[in-house]
Structures are given as C-alpha cells and as structure tokens.
Structure 1
C-alpha cells in the first residue's frame, strides 16, 4: 500500500513538473501588403528533431504546443511568399502573447533562384529601403537601461543618442529631438512622454504608455518613405497589439518606479474581438517628497479594443493619456552635526546654504498628454487594403515659479514672490486614409492623405525683477490646418534590384506655401547575404503652432516664416556574416535649409529648446549640414546570447543669420555602444537573464562665459559670439539589467533590476554662478534611476 501511495505521489509530482516545463507559441501570419491572412503557411522550430511545427488555419492562426521554456527560432514559409526567419521568440508559460508575422510575395529569377528575406530586424513598412529597422516588445523590455521605453531602446542603435541623461529625447545624426515624428496607431501625436514640454522640446522622462501594449515599432533615422511628414530627423512608428482572443490574463508589476497593471482577454470569442488595458502609477514622486527634493509624479492609462469583421472590416478603438507633475521646492537651510554621540571625536558640522539662483526658486510644473483614435481597415478585393484613421491628441504644459526672499541665509522663513507663469495647451484633430495595393507581384503602391486641424492656447508671464510684478511676455489663441498627401511606388525592376519612388506634399496654412518632397530608394541584392541600398529624401517640418504668433519687434506683425527643409542622402551596405550575425554600414549627408533663425544673432532652431518669445525677428536664412558614418555589428539572440556593437563618426554644423558656421548643440562627433545579454535556463524551466549596455560619447558642445560680466551681473553671462565653441569632457555611461523568470502552473513570476547609470557618470551641462561664494562653477548633471521590480502574470 505504501509503495502504491509513493508511486502515485511521484507520478503526480512528475506530471506537475512536466506541465510546468512546457509552454507554447501562437500567432497569426498575414500578407505584408494587403494584411490578408495566409492559409496553410508552415511554421517550424529551427533545428528541431523530430520536426516541431504547425500550419496556419483559415484565419492565418497557428499554435505550437508542448515546448520547453526558452527562446526559439522560427522558420515561416508559404507557397508564393518569401521565407522568414524569426529569432528570439520566447516561450515562457501562460503569458504567451499572440505574435504577428507578415510575409512578402516572393520574386523568382529566370534561373529559378528565389529571393528571400532572412532578417527579422528589417522595418515592417514595405517601402523602407535604408536607415530603418524594427524592434519588438521583447527588446524594449530586455535591453539594459531601456526602462521599457522605445526612446531609450533606440539609444542602442548607431547614430542615436540622448540629449540629456535626465530625459528621453532622441538625437538622431545630430538633429534636435524636436524634429522626431511620433506616430502611434497611424496618428501623429505630440510626443509620447511624461514631463514633456517646457525646455524639453521633443522629450520627457519616460514614455506615456507601457511596453505591455506594444506589438512592434518601426524606427527610421533618415531618408524615410513619403508617408511620413513633419520631420527632418527620424520617425517612431508604433503600433499597439491586440488583446488575447482566447482567454483572460492579467499582470501586476510592482517596483521602485511604480505599479504597472495590465489586463487583456476576449470580448466575444466567436467574433474574435478583444480588449487590452494598462494602468501605471509612479512612486518616485513620493520618494522625492520624503527626501525634501524634486518630486516627479506620474500616472497613465492606455487601452486597445479590437473588433474584427470579415464583412465590414476591422475596427480598432484605442487611447492613451497621462498626467504628471514636478514639485521642486526652494532649498532649505540645513545644519547637521555628525559624530555628536562620540565624545572622543570633534563634531563635524555640515551646513547647507542656498548658493545658486535655482536654490531660491519654488516650482510647480504640470504636464498632460492624451490621444484617442479609431482605425478602420478594410480589404478591397484580394490585392488592396484601405485604412482610415480618425483621432484627436492634446498636450499640456503649465509652469508656476516663485522666487524665495529669505529673511536670513540661516533661516527657512521668508516670502515667495511670483517669478514666472507659463501655460501651453495644443490640440489636434486628424483624419487620415491610406490605400495600399499589390498591383502585381512586382509593383506595390501606397497612397494617402492626412488632414490636421491644429489649435493652441498659450501665454507666458515673467517678473521684471526678482521681487517685481509679473508682466505679460506672450499670449496667443490660434488655429490652422495642415494637409499632407503622398504616393509611393515599389517596383521589382529586376529579380535582384528594386526601386522605391514617391512624392509627398505638405500645405501648412500659416506659411502659405506648398512643399513638394520627392523620395527615392534603390536596393540591390547581388547575393543572398549582401544587400546594397541608396536613398534620397526631401523632408520638411513646421514649428510649434505658437511660434507662428511671435511678434516681429521691427514690424510689430507676426513673423513671415517658412517650413524647415532638408535633403538627406544615404548609402547602405548590409552583410549577413552568418545566419545570426549582420554587419550594417551606412554613410549619410544631410543638408538643411530654410531653417528658422533669430535675425542678427547666433541662435538657430537647429538647437531648438522650447521658446516662449523672441526679442529678434525670426527669418528662414539658416542652414545646416549633418554628415557621418554609422556601423553596426549585431548578433540575434540564439542559444541564449546576443550582442550589438555600434559606432558613429559624425559632424553636425549649422550656419546662423550672421553667416557664421558653428557646432550644433548635439555635435558630439563620435560615439560607441556595446549592448549584450545572456539568458540561461535554470532548474528546468526558469530563465535567468543578464543584460548590459555601455556607451562612450564625445563631449557636449559648450559656450564659454564672460567672467567679469558674470561677476557684475551675479549670473552667468555667456560669450554669444563663441556659441558652442568648446567641448565638454567625453563620457562613459553604463546600464545593466538582471531578470529571473519563474513559470508556474497558473502564473509566471519575474524578479528584475534595471539600473541606469551604474558608473554614476556626471554630464557637464554648462556653468552656474555661486551667489554665496561669488564665483562661477561648473554645472554638472547627475541622474541615476534603479528600478527593482516584481511582476506576476496570471
């Protein structure tokens, strides 16, 4: 009897262990152009023996069960389509998300050789030729220092860096972060970050949505297709994934940064409709308040509702919104005595005085961002698809700053005087429609139109002295429309040679001009492992709407401004050294013109930080040149190991209204990045991951100061005629991450640590004047953000 009980117990334990160690991979296969499901496509686990795989059903769905926990490489193929090799596919228990793969129609040479696509990092956009790639939600959450933020993930790529360690601004090939276009679910939004606005044009602290919602992201660094407008730098094209159509699942993540809650599941299983919702609430503000320092608070809510219909087409209703604020109190006098309990030691007295102007400032800054959209996608016949998007987006920034008049430098009592008051709310209503047609197996066309109705409500007040009254500096309540239209053709001229050609048109009401922008790209594949590409694009960009209401002090009328424009030329060589390792080299030359500058000054919008007024007329006489080379050596995660080595040499210059050519604010000249990681399966079904990212950057361009004038005026007075003429110190930044994933029978639990700035690096940001010591000091920025977290999915 005892033996029977023992055998039964062992069988139950072994059954549980076997169950706990198995997982699945599921997804959907569609045509890359028409988005139609592909029936009968085969999906096979690479190097599986015996062969493990699946075949898609009538709706393009597949599922592979009985897999051990770990990462797999999938080989996806269907008759008439190019074979795709997808690496880094994770099978980790019950939290399996539905993957989406898109296949291109295959092209066959006269000799019967089939042209295949072998790299899954290429952009999803069929019109992309060079300077583009895609990255997945897995990479967003895995890369060290990424903080699940697409902006910070992009820092790993060649030619891309940050503007400041404190924010997530994206500097691409020397261009300002304000020149980057953010497109979410086919709606162009006002950035996508918390704490955006103010002096952080094009940047914030952290993305306004969780990567739990992301399907994939296309990232462009230049010469991008004609469907993207209003950018002279780069593009983030982000799409939310659909919720689980089969069962409900939820996740809770609790960490130093805050709490992250997600839920997804079917709305109607028979119709395939689903929901996906996520809410986050930050904790770092509470930590700041406890320490008496800066207290940044944030919370956001995002969702995606999917309603597919074979008859009426697919409808997606989605939204995202976030509120954030920063409270920075004036600095308190502190008198601390150390070692006071030790009689045999002299007490050490530590006194903290108010020393700098910012120590006397008491700031309350509020931010808000929201977007809501409806997408309708309908197949037209078997070779075309029509996508229409209606959406609205808004962005808010409000700043109230007071100056503390102290009774004495050793007291914290005093009077707060109004010092600065600013507010800016931008609104946009957009309607866009795009028709994509697979005219023949060799010819694809993508055409569309986008109409934006823009409005802004902004004002700025500033005190005439430290204890004076607030005076109005600027006020506007204006609106305008913007019209974009485009057409793009991709033609497989020869089996190994394809051509992309397109034209974009922009009509912005306030500049009263029509900008015609040709785009072109060519790709030649001499062998299956070598891809050569060249591309050219003319791009334009409008400024913030309120800028067009600035008054010209000479004419007392608004400035007569044009769109900023650029011509971008790129040459690319991609070599597949092995099936897992790719070497990519790109050279580029970008010429900017019609750049807004302040007349008679060295200041240019090429170095754009948020403006509230201009004392000088704004004219479009500025120019600029960005040129350089980007190199990337990348190994996909196979056998639990991946790496990416990237480096850039570049030069970024602008010419002001005085005709003087200077460094841009973002001209670091060189950078090198190492990103790597190792994932180990331990105890049968648990995943232990180590990830690291290290970056070496050239110093930030700085402006020398006038020492005597600074002493006389008790503040930093810069030598404007030597703007950005000196360099700060080179910098080394390191981030690392550790994850430990534990699959259970009904849940998956993850412990993790994501550490930003592990070397405690400081960045030179310029200079500041010490009012107490009566001297100029170096202003250094220090930013560290460790995020230790626990996540459970069930």
Structure 2
C-alpha cells in the first residue's frame, strides 16, 4: 500500500509471513512535511513555520493451538519552529517570540493470551513506552541573546498486566486483573527573569515511582433484557503510600426491542501529573536548597453518575441522549494563589503548579449530550452530536468559578454520500462542521506585566470571559479504485474552508 500527497507520503504492507501459515504482519510508515504547500502560498496559521512529523506502527500476530501471541508498537516524532522574527505580522498568538518545539514518543508491547478452556483465558501484557519533548522560546521584544523559556521533559513507563476472564454460564461473567507501572520522569522548566538577569526554575523534577492497580468485575444477565455489571477497583501509589478503593456499578435495560436505558455510577481516582511529585521548590535562598514540597499529594477523585437513553428509529437511524454529573474532590490547590486549581491545567502549552499544594479543592461537571445518526445505507450517512454543559471549581479561597474548559456547548455535524461508479470504483463526498463555545482564559494584567517585564495575570477575573466561539468547516472528496492487486485512492481535503480565525490562546 502506498499513498502520496502534497503533505507527504505513506507506505504500508500486511499479510501472512508464509503461505498456508496463520502468522501475519502489519506495518505502516508515514512521513509528512508541508513545505511544498508553503511554497504554493498556503497559510497554516503559523506564519513561516512548517510542521514536520513522521511515525511508524506495526503488529505481528502468532496464533497457536491454545494461545495467541502478538507484538505491536508505534513511534513517531514531530517538530515545528514558530519564528515571529520571520513574519511580517503576528502569528498564532506568539507575537514577539521565536518558538522551537520538538516531541517524540514510542510504545512497544508483547501480549500473550492463553486459553485455559472454552470458557476461560488469561491475558498477560508487557509494555514499554516513553515520551520526550523540548521547547525553547526567545524573547524578541527584549532582544535577549539567551532563551526566555527553556523546557525539556522525558517520561518512561514500564507496564506489566494480567487479566483473568471466566464465563461460568450464559448469565455470569467474571474479570479479574492486576497492573503494575514503573515510571521514570525528568521535567525541567526555566524562565529568564529580565530584571534580575538570571534563570528561575518553575519546574524541576527527577525521580522514579511505582503505581499498582487491581480490579474485579462481575456481570450477571438476569434476562435477555436486563443485566448488571458491578466491580471494585483499587489503586496504590508506592511513592507516598496513597491508596484508593472504588466501587462501580452499571445497569442495562432493553425494555423494548428498539429502546434501552443505561445507568452507571462509580468512584474514580487518578494520580497527579507524575513530574509534580518530584518538582523541586527553593526553600532556602541562602544555601540555595530545594525540597520536594508536593511529594505527599493524594489522588484526585470523582464520583460519576450517568443516565442514557437509546432508541433505534428505523431505516438505520439511532437516537441517543445522555445526562451526566461529576463531583470532583481532593483537587490540588494553593494558598499562594488562592484562585488557582490544578483542575484547570492541561489545556495550553504550559503547566502551572505551586509549592506546598493541598488536596482541598473541588469541582463539578454537569451536562446533557444528544446524538442522532444514520448508519451508512444506500451510500448516505450522517452524524449529529450536541453537548451542553457547565464546568466549575473552587480553589483554596472557596470561591466558585468557571473552569478553563467551561465553553458551555459543542456541536458536531458530519455527513457523506458515496456514488458507485462501477464494480471497481467509488466516488465519495464528506463534510464536517464543528461549532463550540470559545475557551475561557486567564486575563493578562497589562500594567503589572509592563512593570515586571514578564507576563502577569489578573487572577481576580480568572476564567470569567471566553474567546469568541469556535467554528470550523472541513470537506473531503475522494475517488477509490479497487483492482485485483492494487487499491488506489485519490482525495482532496479542504480544511477550514471559511478561513475562520479561531483564537487558541493569548500572550504578552
């Protein structure tokens, strides 16, 4: 398989290792650069910057009489240089800066499934994964010869897991599993203080930790129409001896042949960002000594309740509605910045944290989702989804605020039609529309930023305002030719057809 386009090329192959053998392979490689499109005068919204990336994936499958062994993996890297010094006007919200960004990731795993009997099996998996990234920003406003921001990160994870599955009869099923993760993390972030002419660490993390998980899940079918799934999930962080025990419950009732109701409830916990546990904070300015002030942070937890209704409308149509509520607690907050909560981090390029954070913050999410779809039939399909929601939090000061992700609504619509030209060729047209509320943001305090020479924020108005609504219209026209030994597809993708200028972030 091969594919060549203006944005690069893709190569792939799959099949058996040998004739009359069940062992098989699948491999795929992609390389992309938008340099050619740039030379044609197309604007990506990043000025002179040209994104580049490549990735490779593979899977090897070896079936045996009572077992199956598979080896699979994926890896890739990307880079981009957003150089405002080469632009005639500000681009992508990085006015006055040159940004160099690189990222890479990789995963390789071995999975072994052994069939103990027709009704039971054990699946064991060993996986090694890693991510690595760096970002360097130069301040053009102050004409600094050295970088104003320097960030680097690496995280390696080794995972071993095993799951036992037992089918007792047509009504009872049991799953039991164990997972153990070992992390090695190294995160470094420095900013240059213009007035003091020195670097200050805002993130300096290096360490190892172990994380264990176990679960047991039982599913019972009372009838063909009604079933219940119940389970217990546990987690343990060996770094600070933090533990969590979480019951979960799910119900499904097909009260009519074309209608069903689902209910789910449970507790869910998660660790903090791994680097946060090892962040070093300056505690002694005289001797320049650092301490791990966030090492003892507890899990962040949430209680989930979901109620869903689904109905098949006939002629390939389906309607689904879902109500959900999430109560989040034990969220890290800081007395140093009472308006702050870790719940609003993760939506931008930077990750804010403070020394001596406490698990006293709370948050809530509540919303309703609607899905209407038509499955592909006679060449036509469509999918419409709409979500309306509220998301807020309380920081150390106990004041209720919008979260950074409270853009209130998201609407997606996509549709397509296929024309069968003959027995070997197909022409298709697809269109996709996304309309959503704008992201909420932390406003910049311009006067204070001028005084300090660095970006300073107005926390008194945290996340009160939103950027303008997000809108994007994409379309695709493709022609597919199926031959005896070769398949060809020619496609034209049109992204952001209205050239709507969506705001992602702001900077000083």
**What SS class does the counterpart of residue 270 from structure 1 fall into?**
coil
* 1:592-636 alpha-carbon deviations (Å, 9 max, x no partner): 011112234212121113666644431111111111111111110
Q: Which residue of 2 aligns with 1:516?
A: 245
Once the two structures are TM-superposed, the CA of residue 417 in structure 1 deviates from its matched residue by 2.2
**Residue equivalent to 2:25:** 275
Aligned match of 1:264: 14
| Corresponding position of 2:470 | 731
Shift of 1:255: 1.4
CA contact (8 A) 2:137 2:149 kept: yes
Question: How far is the alpha carbon of 1:463 from its aligned partner?
Answer: 1.8
CA distance in 1 between counterparts of 2:298 and 2:27 reads: 41
1:504 corresponds in structure 2 to: 233
What is the TM-score normalised by the length of structure 2?
0.90
- Structure 2 CA distance for aligned equivalents of residues 636 and 357 of structure 1: 40
Secondary structure in 2 matching 1:566? strand
Matches within 5 A, 1:319-334: 319-332=73-86
Superposition pairs of residues 112-511 of structure 1, within 5 angstroms = 251-284=1-34, 293-311=48-66, 313-332=67-86, 352=88, 358-404=94-140, 416-465=145-194, 468-511=197-240
Q: Does 1:662 align with 2:401?
A: yes
8 Å Cα contact 1:275/1:306 also seen in 2? yes
Q: Structure 1: where are the runs of 5+ without partners?
A: 1-250, 334-351, 407-413, 770-794
Distance 1:690 1:525 in 2: 36
Aligned length: 493
| 1:596 has 2:351 as partner | no
Equivalent position to 1:532, from 249, 253, 261: 261
CA distance in 2 between partners of 1:475 and 1:709 (Å): 26
C-alpha spacing 1:674/1:664, structure 2 compared with 1 (3 Å): same
Residues 435 and 469, structure 2, Cα contact 8 Å, conserved in 1: yes
Quote how far apart the aligned CAs of 1:714 are. 6.5
Q: What does residue 318 of structure 2 align with?
A: 582
After superposition, the CA RMSD in angstroms is 2.6
Distance in 1 separating the partners of 2:308 and 2:3 = 41
Distance 1:579 1:749 in 2: 32
Distance 1:711-1:744 versus aligned 2 partners, 3 A rule: same
* Residues 460 and 612 in structure 1, CA contact (< 8 A), matched pair in contact too: no
The CA distance in 2 between the partners of 1:355 and 1:392, in whole Å, is: 38
Provide the TM-score with structure 1 as the length reference.
0.59
Paired position in structure 2 for 1:680: 419
Q: Which residue of 2 aligns with 1:627?
A: 366
Larger radius of gyration: 1
Q: How does 1:524-563 map to 2 (within 5 A)?
A: 524-551=253-280, 556-559=291-294, 560-563=296-299
The alpha-carbon deviation at position 440 of structure 1 amounts to 0.9
Contact 1:288/1:294 (<8 A) preserved = no
Contact preservation (8 Å) 2:345, 2:352? no
Q: Is the 8 A contact 2:345 2:351 kept in 1?
A: no
Contact 1:278 1:302 survives alignment (8 Å): yes
Contact map agreement 1:634 1:644 (CA 8 A) in 2: yes
Q: Quick one: structure 1 residues 576 and 474, their matched pair in 2 at CA, closer, same or farther if it must change by over 3 Å?
A: closer
Change (3 A) 1:465 1:457: same
Q: Deviations over 1:159-198 (max 9, x none)?
A: xxxxxxxxxxxxxxxxxxxxxxxxxxxxxxxxxxxxxxxx
Q: Secondary structure at the match of 1:402?
A: strand
Change (3 A) 1:557 1:275: closer
Kept in 2: contact 1:474–1:612 (CA 8 A):
no
Q: Distance in 2 between matches of 1:277 and 1:330?
A: 39
Q: Aligned pair in 2 of structure 1 residues 706, 398: CA closer, same or farther (>3 Å)?
A: closer
Paired residues of 1:404 and 1:417 also in contact (CA < 8 A): no
Instruction: Report the Cα distance in structure 1 between the residues aligned to 2:16 and 2:188, rounded to whole angstroms.
Output: 46
| 2:429 aligned partner | 690
Does structure 2 retain, via aligned residues, the 8 Å contact 1:419–1:466? no
Kept in 1, the 8 Å contact 2:95–2:507? The answer is: no
Matches within 5 A, 1:610-621: 614-621=353-360
User: CA shift at 1:761, angstroms?
Assistant: 1.5
Higher strand residue share:
2
Structure 1 residue 469 displacement after superposition: 4.1
**For 2:463, what is the secondary structure of its paired residue?**
coil
> Per chain length, whose mean CA-contact separation is higher, i.e. which structure has more relative contact order (CA < 8 Å, sep 6+)?
1
Instruction: Please say if 1:752 is aligned against 2:502.
Output: no
Q: CA deviation at 1:554?
A: 6.9
Any idea what the Cα deviations from partners look like across 1:670-706, whole Å, max 9, x if unmatched? 2222211111111453211111111221232234444
Aligned CA distance change for structure 1 residues 761 and 465 (closer, same or farther; 3 Å): same
What's the counterpart of residue 287 of structure 2? none
Question: Taking structure 1 as reference, are residues 607 and 737 closer, same or farther at Cα in structure 2, changes over 3 Å only?
Answer: same
Q: Give the Cα–Cα distance (whole angstroms) in 2 for the partners of residues 502 and 357 of structure 1.
A: 47
**Is the CA contact 1:562–1:620 (under 8 Å) kept in the aligned structure 2?**
yes
Residue in structure 2 matched with residue 18 of structure 1 by the alignment: none
Residues 1:700 and 2:450 aligned together? no
